[in-house]
């Protein structure tokens, strides 16, 4: 069976046993395979995870929660559980369906998603994986040219985000840990926004964490307790198997982007608060006394260092041109009806502001944000975008119907 495995896939299956034995676990599960994948070089599955632009910190905490060491060492030989066997079986089936010769770690990852394990499915879906898009990505990458796992050229921006996603401040780490323990007290199966919010405001009220430059006097612990009262427990019991809710990954994506744009070397608590305000504007305004724009105004303005601005050298595609006859700026116009904008751009402009200003964020290149605008001549909106994102703004023109279609697709 192993003769069709790439060397990386063989190493994954062979070496995961050491991890399982170090934890005193009796069986190899999909979650053990995922932990092993994170530490492997030249691994397609690891590249697919990096491409999702999810926080390495949250991924590691998810797996730490699921793979607690067992104090009672098992005397039984370590073997695969039923879901790992099913994952490999599905990987082989996909191998034939895609007409590939070599079974790589990406196919094993796809097999995990379809293995029937409720826990693995919930975990990978929280990391933004789904069968359709993963299959399409594997087809796009293609078969391995021999038993060496195919190399995927990573977007430098994804690699930078991956690097920053594992660098968080001590205060943010403390809030994550507190929220996890809080969720466990309710036997929840997910750590959600409300666990994070209560932990944040409670710890700030006790001066355990530093939320500067935000005004702690405006944090309302009583109001927060009202907001979270019915949101702490989940429909499904955790029974010790707890992971972060997908929205926490979305908040972290925003926080990582914000830290990067401000030239920070780590993701801090203030960046995470901005992400919370983006995804839960009403709750944050009620509890912290400020909306996203107000919070951004309190943030110090720091220019990006040179080495960070060079992470993506691709030039901006859309530049206004001058009409020689009228000397007026002529803005290129595009259709947005089937346009999938860059996620890292979309999260920079909350939908409520995008609708109010008549804009759609499309792409980020270096320190330039490309947006589609109903009225490209509206300098007031351009100024607001610059203040909001701390970036230069490149503009294309769009129509009202296209803009509404883009909102439906991308938000």
CATH number at residue 350: 3.30.300.160
CA angle 40, 126, 53 (to 5 degrees): 55
- For residues 14 and 142, membership in a common domain is answered with yes
Mean pLDDT of the chain: 83
- Same domain for 150 and 11, yes or no, is yes
Poorest-confidence range of 154-168, 261-275, 280-294?
A: 154-168
Do 260 and 138 sit in the same domain of this protein? Answer: no
CATH of the domain at 293: 1.10.1780.10
Q: What is the pLDDT of residues 372-409, one digit of tens each?
A: 999 888 888 998 888 888 888 888 888 888 888 888 88
CA angle in degrees (0–180, nearest 5) for 326-328-329 = 140
Looking at residue 213, its pLDDT comes to 79
Which pLDDT score, from 0 to 100, does residue 132 have? 94
Which pLDDT score, from 0 to 100, does residue 251 have?
93
In a domain, 399, yes or no: yes
- The answer on 355 and 271 residing in a single domain is no
Task: Establish if 404 belongs to a structural domain.
Answer: yes
5 beta partners: 103
pLDDT of residue 167: 87
Q: Give the pLDDT score at 147.
A: 73
pLDDT at residue 104 in the model: 93
Residue 354 lies in a domain: yes
pLDDT(98) > 90:
yes
Tell me the DSSP string of 172-240: HHHHHHHHHHHHHHTTBSEE-HHHHHHHHHHHHHTTSS--TTS-GGG--HHHHHHHHTTTSS-SSB-TT
H helix or E strand, kind and range, residue 93: helix 82-97
Digit-coded pLDDT (tens) for 299-349: 654 433 333 333 333 333 333 444 444 445 556 666 776 677 887 788 888
- Domain membership of residue 147 (yes or no) is yes
If asked whether residues 179 and 131 sit together in one domain, one would say: no
Position 286 pLDDT exceeds 50: yes
pLDDT of residue 158: 66
Of 91, 125, 154, the residue that ends a domain is: 154
The reported pLDDT for the residue numbered 10 is: 92
Q: What is the pTM (predicted TM-score) of this model? A: 0.71
- Span 203-254, pLDDT tens digits: 988 888 988 877 777 788 888 998 898 888 877 776 778 999 999 999 998 8
Which pLDDT does position 161 carry in this prediction? 72
Does one domain contain both 147 and 233?
A: no
pLDDT tens per residue, range 123-182: 999 999 999 999 999 999 888 777 778 767 777 766 777 788 788 999 999 999 999 999
Residue 55, domain member (yes or no): yes
pLDDT at 38: 92
What local confidence, expressed as pLDDT, does residue 97 receive? 94
Number of domains the chain is built from:
3
For residues 15-21, give the mean pLDDT: 91
Whether 367 and 290 map to the same domain: the answer is no
The answer to whether position 303 is within a domain reads: no
Domain that holds residue 390: 321-410
* 145 domain-assigned: yes
Rounded CA-CA distance 353/180 in Å is: 32
Is the predicted pLDDT of residue 58 greater than 50, yes or no? yes
Give the domain-ending residue among 99, 123, 154: 154
Could you give the CA distance from residue 39 to residue 45 in angstroms, rounded to a whole number?
Answer: 11
Would you state the pLDDT for residue 345?
81
Same domain flag for 252 and 347: no
Answer whether residue 356 shows pLDDT above 60.
yes
The pLDDT of residue 317 is 35
Same-domain pairing of 51 and 27: yes
Together in a domain, 131 and 185: no
Cα–chain center distance at 127:
7
- How far is residue 174's CA from residue 180's CA, in Å, rounded to a whole number? 10
| Residue-wise pLDDT tens digits, 178-213 | 999 999 998 899 999 999 999 999 998 888 898 887
pLDDT for res 332: 63
Average pLDDT over residues 271-296: 85
Looking at 298, 333, 350, the residue that finishes a domain is: 298
Is residue 6 situated within a structural domain? yes
Q: How far apart, in Å, are the Cα atoms of 120 and each of 56, 138, 304, 403?
A: 17, 20, 39, 37
CB 20 within 8 A of CB 27: yes
Judgement on whether residues 247 and 350 belong to the same structural domain of the protein: no
Residue among 258, 128, 247 nearest 196 (CA):
247
């Amino acid at each position: 069976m192993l003769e069709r495995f790439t060397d990386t896939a063989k190493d994954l299956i062979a070496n995961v046993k050491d991890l399982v034995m170090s934890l005193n676990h009796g069986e190899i599960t999909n979650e053990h395979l995922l932990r092993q994948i994170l530490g492997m070089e030249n691994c397609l599955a690891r590249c697919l995870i990096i491409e999702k632009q999810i926080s390495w910190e949250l991924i590691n905490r998810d797996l730490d929660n699921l793979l607690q060491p067992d104090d009672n060492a098992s005397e039984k030989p370590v073997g695969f559980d039923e879901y790992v066997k099913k994952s490999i079986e599905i990987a082989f089936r996909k191998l034939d369906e895609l007409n590939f010769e070599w079974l790589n770690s990406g196919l094993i990852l796809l097999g995990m998603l379809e293995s029937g394990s409720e826990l693995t499915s919930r975990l990978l879906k929280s990391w933004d994986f789904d069968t359709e898009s993963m299959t399409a990505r594997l087809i796009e990458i293609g078969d391995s040219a021999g038993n060496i796992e195919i190399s995927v050229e990573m977007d430098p921006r994804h690699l930078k985000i991956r690097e920053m996603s594992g660098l968080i401040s001590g205060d943010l780490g403390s809030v994550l840990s507190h929220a996890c323990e809080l969720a466990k007290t309710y036997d929840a199966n997910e750590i959600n926004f409300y666990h994070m919010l209560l932990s944040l405001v409670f710890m700030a009220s006790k001066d355990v964490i530093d939320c500067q430059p935000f005004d702690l006097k405006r944090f309302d612990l009583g109001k927060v307790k009202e907001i979270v009262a019915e949101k702490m427990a989940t429909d499904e019991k955790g029974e010790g198997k707890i992971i972060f809710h997908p929205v926490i990954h979305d908040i972290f994506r925003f926080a990582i982007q914000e830290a990067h744009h401000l030239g920070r070397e780590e993701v801090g608590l203030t960046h995470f608060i901005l992400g919370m305000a983006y995804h839960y504007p009403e709750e944050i305004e009620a509890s912290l006394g400020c909306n996203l724009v107000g919070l951004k105004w309190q943030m110090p303005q720091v220019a990006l260092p040179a080495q960070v601005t060079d992470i993506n050298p691709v030039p901006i595609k859309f530049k206004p041109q001058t009409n020689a006859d009228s000397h007026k700026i002529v803005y290129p116009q595009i259709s947005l009806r089937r346009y999938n904008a860059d996620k890292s751009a979309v999260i920079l402009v909350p939908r409520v502001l995008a609708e109010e200003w008549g804009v759609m964020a499309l792409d980020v290149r270096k320190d330039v944000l490309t947006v589609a605008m109903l009225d490209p001549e509206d300098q007031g909106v351009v100024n607001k975008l610059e203040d909001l994102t701390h970036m230069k703004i490149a503009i294309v023109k769009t129509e009202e119907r296209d803009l509404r279609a883009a909102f439906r697709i991308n938000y």
